[in-house]
Amino acid sequence: MKPYEQKFPWTLDWNLLRTFIVVVEQQGITRAANFLGVKQPTISAALKRLEDTVGQKLVDRRPTHFTVTEAGRVLYRECSTVFGSVSQLPGLLDRAENRISGHVGIVMTSHVVCRHFDDLLETFNRAHPDATYSIVVAESSEVLNRLRQNRATLGICLMRERDPALHAEVLFREYFALYCGPHHRLFGKEKIRLSELQGESSVSFQTDAESGPLHSVTHLREQALLRPELKGVSANLPEVRRMIVAGLGIGALPVHVAHRDVQAGNLWRLPPYTGIPAVDVVFVTNPNRSANPAESKLIAAISELIRTVRLEERTYQ
């Protein structure tokens, strides 16, 4: 190791790394200052000090432009990993006292509706009242990124291809069908032919793409011959539902999630009525994470659920 590399961790002001993470995640100096409750020049000075320390330009910032450089992306990735490890320390110290406590960080896609998971969480919290929790909603790709960076205990998301760095198991299976809102011409109509959907506008999820985890939903829209260009997109299921109800277009939703809206007269089921796509929602962890007692117990409990309850019972339609 070169001499300057040996001295670097001792001369570095580690607070600058925390500030840098916030700047990247807030996508700007002003927003970072507001988030941290300090003045903008303080953030700018901290970023300049960090760039001088590492000898690299980390952010390309101009009045109407903000981009993280390649060096900045590398530093952010490593800082996120360090931040994730440090955040685990309280729980790891609790382990030394043989207490089932610690913080459990869950990151999941929007509107995960799984009775089995909810029941397990209720039982787990009753058995281990000292555990604390945080739940962050994000796109599936961001869920996986946070787990790779050791910034969360577990994730629940969609996953088309398995990642060798992560451990994934199917938590539950759901089926997607097409729906329209109460202002649509097909709302309330019985025995609708699939051909009647041809050329209609549609809305969908950002992951609805040929190469994405919702590729089967892409095929469903193609089967119905809906317009190929989407009228609206969102990463958030309630917002996709909002667009369908508002009449922006036809859209696919999980059948068990849409059921209550159908009963309430907010949505109407459209063809095809059979052969609709099944989508697996997976439970994901990072096997390299040093888990605190609460994390270890919860991960083991979910794995036990998956092992002992047949997938047919964890299938919602």
Instruction: Report residue 287's pLDDT band, with 50, 70 and 90 as the boundaries.
Output: very high
Q: From CA 40, how far away is CA 315, in angstroms rounded?
A: 50
- Provide the pLDDT for residue 3: 47
Lowest mean pLDDT among 85-89, 100-104, 267-271: 85-89
- Provide the pLDDT for residue 285: 96
Collect contacts of 59-65 with beta carbons under 8 A, ≥24 apart. Answer: 59/23, 59/24, 61/29
**Residue-averaged pLDDT of the chain:** 90
pLDDT digits (tens, 9 = 90+) for 142-189: 999 999 988 889 999 999 888 999 999 999 999 999 999 999 999 999
Instruction: Report residue 56's pLDDT band, with 50, 70 and 90 as the boundaries.
Output: confident
pTM above 0.95, yes or no: no
Bridge partners of 201? none
Q: Are 49 and 13 in contact (CB under 8 A)?
A: yes
- Provide the pLDDT for residue 112: 93
State yes or no: pLDDT of 120 exceeds 60.
yes
Give φ, ψ of 306 to 5 degrees.
-65, -35
Q: Are 205 and 217 in contact (CB under 8 A)?
A: yes
According to DSSP, residue 160 is labeled S
Domains observed in the chain: 3-86 (1.10.10.10), 103-170+281-316 (3.40.190.10), 172-279 (3.40.190.290)
Instruction: Report residue 5's pLDDT band, with 50, 70 and 90 as the boundaries.
Output: low
- Provide the pLDDT for residue 90: 74
